[in-house]
Amino acid sequence: MQNLKVIYEDNHIIVVEKIPNVPSQGDKTDDISMLDIIKQYLKQKYNKPGNVYLGLVHRLDRPVGGVMVFAKTSKAAARLSEEVRSHEIKKEYLVIVDGKMEIQKGVLEDYLLKNGKNNISRVVKENTKNAKYAKLEYETLYYEEDIDLSVLKVLLHTGRHHQIRVQFASRNHSICGDQKYGTRGRGKQIALWAYKLTINHPITKESMSFISIPEKVGSWIILKQLQEELLR
């Protein structure tokens, strides 16, 4: 079993750090998924016979790492899924992009169209058939002039296909290491991380926030100056 970092666990939910390049759930590659890894962990920890229930309530793109919540009961899964649908769950990301943002803090709004054949989305005009509205907020945390990279904190308002990647790439600020939408190909690991997740506990209704910060290797070395700020 791959090493699993458990951030929080109770009888209803389990919050973990998703491993980069591991799919959230099984796909056509048949590679082991986070769902598989957590089920295996629960089966071993609690010595459970047969199948283990685990509800997937949201996803992260395969190359992206960071914090995810899974439901351990069907009631918790239903309530968390409703939070996702009603945008009550707050998802914040860390991202390293090429260049310096002209506006240090702002909102990006676009209409995105997904091409199912090549699994790529692009920004299109508002009245384009099947296009979906996408909105995010961003704040520049740090700009490294020597290497012309910016560290941003991003708050998602909508959860569209490859949304963060597409919206920044369309403005010539592609994400460092993004093999699909990148322009300068710095490294092979995307510098996009789900760093903070805030939910209402499905049973107690308590507001809970969970944080995961990437190891400072590769592009993430740039985070060395920001550790304390990010943990707030």
Read off the pLDDT of each residue in 169-196 and give the average, rounded to a whole number: 87
Euclidean distance between CA atoms 57 and 84, whole angstroms: 8
Beta-strand ranges (E) seen in 99-161 are 105-115, 120-124, 132-144, 149-156
Q: What percent of the chain has pLDDT over 70?
A: 94
Confidence of residue 229 (pLDDT cuts 50, 70, 90): low
Quick one: DSSP state of residue 216? Answer: S
Structural domain boundaries in the chain? 5-230
Whole-structure pTM value:
0.91
Confidence of residue 231 (pLDDT cuts 50, 70, 90): low
Q: What is the pLDDT of residue 2?
A: 66
Read off the pLDDT of each residue in 225-231 and give the average, rounded to a whole number: 63
What CATH class does 5-230 carry? alpha beta
Quick one: DSSP state of residue 12? Answer: S
Please give the structure tokens belonging to residue 98. 């090429």
Q: What is the pLDDT of residue 116?
A: 87
Residues 6 or more apart from 70 whose CB is under 8 A from it? 13, 14, 15, 16, 34, 35, 38, 54, 55, 56, 57
| pLDDT tens digits along 197-211 | 999 999 999 999 999
Q: What is the pLDDT of residue 182?
A: 83
Read off the pLDDT of each residue in 116-137 and give the average, rounded to a whole number: 94
Among 86-95, 100-109, 216-225, the minimum mean pLDDT is found in 216-225
Euclidean distance between CA atoms 66 and 130, whole angstroms: 30
